[in-house]
A and B are shown apart, each in its own frame.
Chain A
Amino acid sequence: SQQGEEDPQALSIQEGENATMNCSYKTSINNLQWYRQNSGRGLVHLILIRSNEREKHSGRLRVTLDTSKKSSSLLITASRAADTASYFCATGPAGDSGSRLTFGEGTQLTVNP
């Protein structure tokens, strides 16, 4: 079963607007990662946030992590048409070898020019 669940499944916005995607997970984690996938391509790593961190920034990306609610959000500010892609969260489990990164089903973001 999938560890992470993204919400919404699909999001359509205008260029320049902000896009927020959410991820919820079920078990304790060591870290949470966000990836982007352009149509027909492999996944590209965006940002990693560890369980002892609450917020992280990278360029126009802002990720928050709330371990008490087992949830994370990805904010893309001032979106561009080139941000159109699927976005996946992935969790690295705590407590075991940590060798199994588990992905959610993704959010399809469409940025209209």
Chain B
Amino acid sequence: NAGVTQTPKFQVLKTGQSMTLQCAQDMNHEYMSWYRQDPGMGLRLIHYSVGAGITDQGEVPNGYNVSRSTTEDFPLRLLSAAPSQTSVYFCASSTSRTTNEKLFFGSGTQLSVL
């Protein structure tokens, strides 16, 4: 099993560009989520999903869109990138629809917006 796979690992964007960060898991997990990690601020939840067709906002959803058409995939879309979105992005999944079980993390995407 590959676990949680994120692509790309690194990305540089110009302000105003759009892009999609990909996340896929092969563990048949219902719960998937996106976090961003900034220096000195820990991880902050952007969006999460408790199953195909179901998504909800986290703590910092502005500027990001998500969809969940399959159990395996949970892409994160930046519609118009801003320098404030420079961060490391992590996708995570869990067997549980709630937070009562551990999260499995991907290796992250380092995004720079110039």
Assign chain A's interface to a size class: 20 to 34
Given A2-B42, A105-B40: A98 and B100 interface contact (C-beta under 8 Å): yes
Given the complex, which residues of B lie within 8 Å of A30, measured CB to CB? 98-100
Q: Does A77 contact B (CB under 8 A)?
A: no
Assign chain B's interface to a size class: 20 to 34
Given the complex, which residues of B lie within 8 Å of A105, measured CB to CB? 40-42
Q: Does B85 contact A (CB under 8 A)?
A: no
Interface-facing stretch out of B14-22, B62-70, B72-80, B105-113: B105-113
B42 near A33 with CB under 8 A, answer no
> What is the bound-complex CA distance between A66 and B97, given in angstroms?
26
B42 near A88 with CB under 8 A, answer yes
> What is the bound-complex CA distance between A40 and B43, given in angstroms?
14
Interface residues of B (CB under 8 A from A): 4, 31, 33, 35, 40-45, 48, 50, 56, 58-59, 90, 92, 97-108
